[in-house]
Amino acid sequence: MSSREEIVTETESEMEVRQTRPTFVSVLKKSGLMFWSMAPLLIGIMGLVGLLETLVTPEMLSVLFRGNPVADTAIGTVSGAAATGNPVVSYLLGGELLQQGISLYAVTAFILSWVTLGVIQLPMEVEMFGMRFTVFRNLLALGGTMLIAVATGLTMQVLT
Partner 1 sequence: MKGGKGFRFRGKLFLLLVVAAYMVFFMVNAAEAYQALLRGGLLLVRLIPVFTTVIFMIALVNYFLRPAQIVRWLGRESGRKGWLLSLLAGVVSHGPVYAWYPMIENLRRHGGRDGLLVVFFYSRCIKVPLLPLMVDYFGMTFTAVLTFYTLVGSLAQGWLMDRLES
Exactly one of 30, 66, 67, 68 binds partner 1 (CB under 8 A); that residue is 30
Residue 127 is a binding residue for partner 1 (CB under 8 A): yes
Distance CA 160, CA 155 (A): 9
Q: Around 89, how many Cα atoms within 13 Å sit in the side-chain half-sphere?
A: 15
Other beta carbons less than 10 A from residue 69's beta carbon: 16
Comparing CA positions, the residue from 107, 133, 111, 106 lying closest to residue 122 is 133
From residue 68 to residue 97, what is the string marking binding to partner 1 with x (rule CB under 8 A)? -------------------xx--xx-xx--
The piece of 1-9, 56-64, 67-75, 130-138 that touches partner 1 (CB under 8 A) is: 130-138
Q: Applying CB under 8 A, which of residues 8, 15, 38, 131 lies at the interface with partner 1? A: 38
Q: Does 131 bind partner 1 (CB under 8 A)?
A: no
By CB under 8 A, is residue 151 in contact with partner 1? yes
Q: What is the dihedral angle through the alpha carbons of 52, 150, 92, 62, rounded to the nearest 10 degrees?
A: 50
Listed ranges 4-12, 57-65, 67-75, 143-151: which one lies at the site for partner 1 (CB under 8 A): 143-151
Amino acid identity, residue 6? E
CA 104 → CA 82, 119, 153, distances in Å?
Answer: 19, 23, 6
Contact flag: residue 136 with partner 1 (CB under 8 A): yes
Which of 82, 27, 44 has its CA nearest to residue 60? 82
Site of interaction with partner 1 (CB under 8 A): 22, 24, 27-28, 30-51, 53-55, 87-88, 91-92, 94-95, 98, 104, 108, 111-112, 115-116, 118, 121, 123-125, 127-129, 133, 136-137, 140-141, 144, 147-148, 151-152, 155-156, 159-160
